[in-house]
Amino acid sequence: MKFHSRKLIKPENLNANNSLFGGALLRWIDEEAGIYTMTKLKTQKVVTKYISEINFVSSAKQGDVIEIGMELVDLGRTSMTMKCIVRNLFTQKTIISIDKIVFVQVDDNERPVPHHLTMETVKPLRND
């Protein structure tokens, strides 16, 4: 798994317990997964279809730096599926793991359209 994005945990990212707010983390994951999908499918016309069970393993506090990792696991006719791990950059402790995030390529009317790619033809990113 490659880690493409890092975030500094700031006061505006904290919940009432002074730990990372789960909603902020999920927003970052969805954004990172979307960007990852766009780069692989070479289009901005993608939408989030599904996110599987989310397992918060540990927390992050103000000042921590986290990194978001994505890995391609499957391609459907119109979809791309990846898994995600978020970890603390310095301790390497896992914060969250998601086994399945699915994005779908869509047309101008937001209907699914085939991407015509296979696992063998998807070009790796420089860091993949």
DSSP 81-102: EEEEEEEETTT--EEEEEEEEE
Tell me which CATH code domain 2-105 carries: 3.10.129.10
**Helices (H) and strands (E) in the chain — how many of each?**
1, 6
Mean pLDDT of the chain: 94
* Alpha-carbon dihedral angle through residues 24, 54, 59, 28, given to the nearest 10 degrees: -30
- Closest C-alpha to 82, from 57, 107, 104: 104
Q: What pTM was computed for the model? A: 0.92
43-80 pLDDT, tens digit per residue, is 999 999 999 999 899 999 999 999 999 999 999 999 99
